[in-house]
Structure 1
Amino acid sequence: MSDDIRFDGQVVIVTGAGGGLGRSHALEFARRGAKVVVNDLGGSVDGSGGSSAAAEAVVAEITKAGGEAIADGASVTNDAGVAALVERTMAKWGRIDVLIANAGILRDKSFSKMEMSDFASVVDVHLVGTVKPLKAVWEIMKTQNYGRIVVTTSSTGLYGNFGQANYGAAKLSLVGLMNTIKLEGAKNDIRINAISPVAATRMTENLMPPEMLAKLGPEQVTPGVVYLASKDGPNGAILTAGAGVFSLAQITETEGAYLGQGASAEAVRDKWAEITDPAGREAYTGGHMQTQKFMRKLNG
């Protein structure tokens, strides 16, 4: 396919767009013709503080390049702020086509040292801060019979990372959210996907050596986000991206073994190799497929 992916006439909201990945996404959507809402609370990496300067600077970049954008300083966890963001966008442009849920914070500590407030704050921004904007645009997208949503997951959620129990729990929860939204939105052509990025941002600058950071610019992730949010993008994909490498992550399930009604724990132990045999494993598109397998093996 040689046609360029364009967003002319479309309105794109990018949360956490004052820097890093979000800024890169916002600039590229604008370059491809979208009207962009640059949302950023302007706080520090741990979520404290706030300033509209970062979002306004990105808007200035976009307008200087001939694009259209507005800045918004609402917290994605604040109901009134999110409602005002959506109302303002609709008043100005009359539609919302794409939501890129990118806002996030870090409060890394080992689980032993982690306070419950550290856990709650991270889940609030990553999970609730995705759900609230999504809920606010949902009926608009349904009425339009069109919408594209990209949530931001992480390898920490998919696979784990020391010192990030809060972040990992929040990030994998977004995959669970996506897996249901992809089913509920399908009839109205609302598609949702997840990006799992590795990029040099404020949130990773202390975690990697400079020579690695140099190859992990946010602009190396943005092409994946743009495709996921495009008219012909997929639905329900987890796209991993970093340093120009893109791959698909999937939750798969093995064929398993039928151990009989009333099977014992010892039977599970003794059949463990068959239960976990990777041959024939599959990525299901809905929970019903697991149930169908159980019935098939029961009756087989």
Structure 2
Amino acid sequence: MALGDGATPAPVPNLSISGAALAALLHRCAAAAGDCDGLLFGRASHLPAPPASLSDYDDLPPAPALSISVSGHCSLSHPSSLSDPLGRFQAPSSDPSSAVGFFSSRRRTALRPSMRELALANSLSKTIEGRTIAHPLLFILVSPSASPNFSTHSYDYRAFLLLGSRLVPASISVVNVGPGFRDQYHAFYPESPMPCLPIPQPSSPEPTGQRHTHTIGEQKAVDEIVDGFGIGRLQGVLGSAAGQAAEMDDMYAGMLRKLEKLAREVEQSNLRVLEQENRNLLLRYRYAGMQ
């Protein structure tokens, strides 16, 4: 339906994706054996109303009243898992009702949606049209490429919004930790693996035989965070003020040692995975007769 001369176009939602979610999405596209696709998850929220403008101009563009932020993705191992050959949506194992859109990865191709992706966008939009906040469907098209010796990987990506029955290009911002990332903390529910410890009361000692006994599960919960820090010692930190700073410093030093050990293990495993991926790619090229 064409807009009239006096009609005001609807404001485009504010699109954003966290840096960690974008890195995980690009890694998934690069690690795939061929083309792949998947669902995008995140949250859509209404932006607060802007303050009253003091400008005398009436033709200012309307501010976006909706924000769509991407925080993760879901993709199956085999390519083209979201649609059949006709572009009709096929529901994967995850629930698509909470999805904000989908992505598609095609190697060394122009960043233009295909007819199949347009059909998939319309089909997926009809499937999840009963979501809590109505918003246009988001589509991210990724085109990864690599150097001949696989030493350098590059990525091109572009975002589109399903407006009406067309996929319209839209700008998407990559948001890291900072003031711009604050809006995504509304869906964050902090959970601590620390066990719930009763604070001892020095003025009212517990009767003999009624002291709190710590279970093996509580001690394991503490050991997962910091090695060698007893649960009785942690309870003393919570209940006494004398020597609390030194004890906290010792606990955080143990936590940092634990994190450093985990970081080194992850770094070594990533190097082994990268070496195996490069060997697999070289074998695929060799079997395909490209070398």
**Which structure carries more helix by proportion?**
1
TM-score range, shorter chain: under 0.3
Higher strand proportion, which one? Answer: 2
Q: TM-score, normalised by structure 1?
A: 0.23
